[in-house]
Structure formats: structure tokens, C-alpha cells
Amino acid sequence: MKFPPILLVAAAALLPLFSSTTATAAKKTSSTAPLAGAAPGVRVDPTYWWVGMKNPKLQLLVHAPGLAGSTTTLASYPGVTLESQQKLESPNYLVLNLVIDPAAKPGQLKLSFKGSKSFACSYELRARNTDPARTQGLTQADFIYMLMPDRFANGDPKNDVVKNTRVNHVARDSMYARHGGDLRGIQNHFAYLKQLGATAIWPTPLVENDMPKASYHGYAVTDCYRIDPRYGTNEEYVQFVKAAHADGLKVVQDIVLNHWGSYHHLFLDKPAADWFHAFPSFTRSNYNAFALNDPHGSQRDYQLFNDGWFDTTMPDVNQSNPLVATYLVQNFLWWVESTGLDGYRIDTYPYSNPQFLMQWGKAIAEEYPRLALFGEAWEGTEAEQAFYARNILPPVNGFKSNLPGLLDFQICFAISDALKTENGDLSKLYHALQADWLYEDATRNVPFLDNHDMSRFYSVIGEDFNKFKTGIAWLLTLRGTPQLYYGTEVLMKNFSNPDGKVREDFPGGFAGDKLDYFAARPGPAGEAFNYVSKLANYRKAHPVLSSGKLMQFIPQDGVYTYFRYDDGACVMVIANNTKDEKAVDGTRFAERLVGFTSGVEVVSGATISDLRQLTVPAHTAWVVELRK
């Protein structure tokens, strides 16, 4: 999510932020499928669980009007114990703490509530899925395609308007309204993604965002256990992941730990006041992560960063509350086990409570060691970015990150800075990679050119197609797992003022579109697509670009050169970032050219017969497979 000077100002007056639950709001509170035999209005989170999880403890949050005056009993079930029940401030909740022995069998737990609220219900314990093809994780061999589901393609017009949602219409001429894209629309275009060379799909959050305005982006969650019905159902999401895997595509789920939407059912009817951070009056985060690890910093700045709200409609979740922390941990275990997804991208990662981040990361990794985890840390220096991934740095204020990787904003900034002006500065890109020594393993980072919060790459570089190819060449040959924002491959453009301008519909994804880039891409759009596709598919077929070592040479005279190499292969990437043709002395790279006498530029097929003396045209990047 965006690092914002201004965040959805138009949404500021949508609701009284600190009001108590109203009858109207309560009626609109979303819910998952009712529990078997339960009275109407009863909800339990998680909605079901599994036997055989590594952590035998299970926390159930039960909601029903007036429930707190009831006493809970669990009918005898071998291997399952109701350890305790806990009342909260609200009269409408109980917390049940269960212990599930590893030897317990799948089945239905029988829970009875007697007192001010009396009813019985069944709670399902399922068998875990043992399919080895589930939860594959990500490697450097992958190429992630990031998209906004609402803006990519509409595959099921029947879910465009969903009864009882707060936004129950589509308006494609409004950048703040829903446009109708959905899971089926993405699935209908798996072939397009594979032709491009993508191996993984990252949609912005798919869980329910039932907010009154501008919630199409997905970052204001209102139900942690439900796919937004305008995208599809929970079961359709399970099938979506299965279909992606069957088609050779992985799925990354975009998640938010730090905040929810102000129409979240647990905010409308709070279990307790301390489930959310609150100040005497509305207080934003200061959006300054430096406060977290500043050895000279103030506690006030630290508190504002961590506890301030991200926006007027995004209450800050209090993860230092153990019940809240467990609720979040269980929720994200639940989605992995339910679907078999392959990775989590964590939104606004630094804004969460640092101790919780360590707890959450440990719990997720212990249960799913293959699951890919990478976070958004939109920071201004290499060291500050590296602080939020596994690194060589000492703990600060008791925090030592256990997150495997990050979105590599430093690479993104460096590429843009190099290309957005004439004879742009290449040193930042060199320095961003030089700082890899800070990480435990920088190859787990995700480099990118732009995203849903940033001006589109093609506009940033002045719509210069040669510079576009240079940026793509760097993206697809540097270390890490590259990510491409939807439409970049067909030269979609605009500046993020406001954000909606960089979140436009993909041409051809919606009925009535004048252009259909899924079917045909004439002119520059087709040339751009073909360049990305050729290089991405070459990368897929040549492991040296995904698992090979990286050696870079200090930029010289506007030319930047690096090599990807292993014991048997070597690829040279050389980019002339100036307006003039450059003669490059190849003997400078002798340590990497030993044994190689010529090369082939992999996109154009042109032969380079003499590696000792290279003449590189203006604003040109070559990706050269070296030959012996």
C-alpha cells in the first residue's frame, strides 16, 4: 500500500470513526456460512480447523448477541479438550481455548452454550491436505505478474452486483467505483500470462472489502475469512488456486496485518476496546519507519508510527493484544491450509507491532516452511529496507526480522532514476546491489519497476521505448524474483495523481472494450509484449538467469555491465544509458570472459563476434549469451 502524504481524502467523512455499533451497521455485518445447528447470528472464527497442525492450541472467537453470560461445554471428543473460556468487554463474545492432540481424528465437535444465550452447534475439524504440489513457494526462477482483480478482467457478470453489499453497482467511468473484474476473469486469461512468461500471479487483496467507497483496491478488509463476493466465493478461490497450479502458475495472496477497514465486523462490534489503537482524537501514523530503529528516537514518534491509523477508514489493529495476535496468526494459517496458495505478500509490513511480526513470521514458517513471504517496506535507504528482512544487522529494540524477503524498492527507485532523465545516474543501481551484503539472502527479494501506488514506468521514463527495453532487461536479469505490474507489458501509462489513473482497466478484459490486448496487440503494444515475452521465456529456459551468481562492474562512461554465471553458462548484460553510441573495452571484463569468444543477443538474435571491443548503440541494453 502506498506511503501516503494524502490518503483517500474523499473517504474521510464516510462514517463517525469512534461511534458505537449502530443497528444498521450490525445488520450489514458480513458473515461466513452458519455453523451446523447454531442459532441465527452465531459466528465462530476460524470457521473450521484441522487436526495435525504443529501448534495444538486453537483459539475460537465466538460471537452472538448476549453470549458472554453463557457457559460453554464440549461433548466428549477423543483428543480434544476445552481448556478454558474467556469473557471480553463486549457482552457479545466468548473466547474458547481448545487443545487438539496430534492423534485426534477429523470430525464434528459438539459445543453447547447455556445461560443468557443457549444453543448448541457443531464445529468441524478437517484432515489436512497432504498433496505435495500445494504451497510450492517461490524461487528466483519465477516471474510474478501483479494485477488488480477489479480492473483486470470480468469473467462473471453475475457477481458484478451483490445484494446487501455497501457498493452494489459498477461504474467503469469512475476511478473509485467497482468495475467488475473477478477471479473468473483472471482465470480466463491464464494462457495470456503463460505466453508472457509469467509463472506466478499476485492479485491485490481478494478478501471482503465491504466499504462504502473506494474499496476496490482491497486494502480495507471487512471480513478476514471471506473472499469478496464480487470476486467470487471461498470455494471458487480454492478452485482458482487449483486451476492455476494445474496450468503451471503459482498464486501469491496479498495480505494486510497492520489495519482493517472501518466496516470490519470486529470494529463495528468490538470484542474489547483494546483490539484497536485509539488516541483521544483521530491520529494518523507519521509514516516514518526510521522512528522504529532510530537509536536517538523519541517514544512518541515510535508510537505514532506503529499505533497511528493508516487512514481515516483504516483502524490500526492492536497486535500487542495476545488475543488479536492469535486471531491474525490463525487467519493466515487458515488461508494457506484451505487453499494451498504459494506465498504471501505482506502490505505495510513495517507498520505492524515488531514483536508481533516476529511471532507471526515464526508461526507461519513453522507450519509452512515452503511458503514464500515477502513484505512491502517502502523505505528510503538500502539499510532501512534491509532492516525488515533477514539480515546481518543486530536486533534493535528487541526486533530482529525473520521475513525472508522484501519488495525491492531500492532497485525500483534506482532503475527509474537511471532512466527518467537523459544520461541518468547509474550509480544508484550499482549501490543498491552492492548493499546486498546487508541481507541474509538478497536473492529472496522481489525487484519491480512500478506498482498500483506508483506512476507507471512507461510514463516515468518519458514514453521512451528504448529505455523501456533497458528497464525490462534489468528487471528480468538481476538477482531476485521479478514482478511486473499488469499492463506494463503493453505500455499502459499514466501518473499516480490520483492513484486511479494507474489502476485503469486492462484493454480487452471487459465487454465493449475497443481494444483487446488479450487477443491481439498491434503496434508498440505488441512490440513491448514481444520483448517482455521473449526475455521472460528465455529466462525461464536458462537457469543461469535465476540461479547463477551475479558479478557487476562499476558503471563507467554511462555504461553499466554485469554478468550472471554458473559453472557452465554466462550471460552478459550491458546497457548504454547515454544518447551517444559507446565503444566499450571488453578486456575490462576479462575475469568473466575467460573461455568465451563470442555471444548472441538473446532478444534480437544478433551475433557479437568480438567480446574484446564492443560498440553499444545509444540507449540500448544487450542481454548476451556468451559462446565458447
The residues assigned a catalytic role are 347, 376
Q: What SS3 class is residue 429?
A: helix
Q: In 473-494, which positions are buried (b, 16+ CB within 10 angstroms) versus exposed (e)?
A: bbbbbbbbbbbbbbbbbbbbbe
Q: Distance between CA 528 and CA 473 in Å, rounded?
A: 12
Q: How do beta strands 372-375 and 343-347 pair? A: parallel
| 502 and 454 Cβ atoms separated by less than 8 Å | yes
Handedness of CA 269, 320, 88, 326 (dihedral sign): positive
**Those residues with Cβ within 8 angstroms of residue 498's Cβ, 6 or more apart along the chain or in another chain:** 175
The torsion angle over the Cα atoms of residues 374, 379, 382 and 386, rounded to 10 degrees, is -40
| 54 and 100 Cβ atoms separated by less than 8 Å | no
Q: Which residues pair with 606 in a beta bridge?
A: none
In sequence order, what DSSP letters do the residues of 530-584 get, joined into one string?
A: HHHHHHHHHHHH-THHHHSEEEEEEEETTEEEEEEE-SS-EEEEEEE-SSS-EEE
**How many CA atoms within 13 Å lie on the side-chain side of 73?**
8
**How many CA atoms within 13 Å lie on the side-chain side of 237?**
26
Question: At residue 195, what is the residue type?
Answer: Q
Label residue 223 exposed, middle or buried (CB < 10 Å: 0-12, 13-18, 19+).
buried
User: Tell me, what DSSP letter sits at residue 309?
Assistant: B
| 4 and 347 Cβ atoms separated by less than 8 Å | no
Reply yes or no: is the peptide bond before residue 315 cis, omega within 30 of 0. no
Q: What SS3 class is residue 140?
A: coil
Question: At residue 513, what is the residue type?
Answer: D
Nine-digit cell string for 462? 518519458
First to last CA, the chain: 47
The torsion angle over the Cα atoms of residues 450, 138, 240 and 488, rounded to 10 degrees, is 20
Handedness of CA 594, 596, 602, 605 (dihedral sign): positive
Number of helical H runs and strand E runs in the chain: 18, 26
In sequence order, what DSSP letters do the residues of 12-47 get, joined into one string?
A: TTSS-TTPPPPHHHHHH----SPPTTPPTT-EEESS
Task: Count other C-beta atoms under 10 Å from residue 595's C-beta.
Answer: 9
Question: At residue 144, what is the residue type?
Answer: I
Q: What is the CA radius of gyration of the chain?
A: 26
Of 113, 126, 99, give the one whose Cα is nearest residue 42.
113
Q: What SS3 class is residue 472?
A: helix
Nine-digit cell string for 494? 499514466
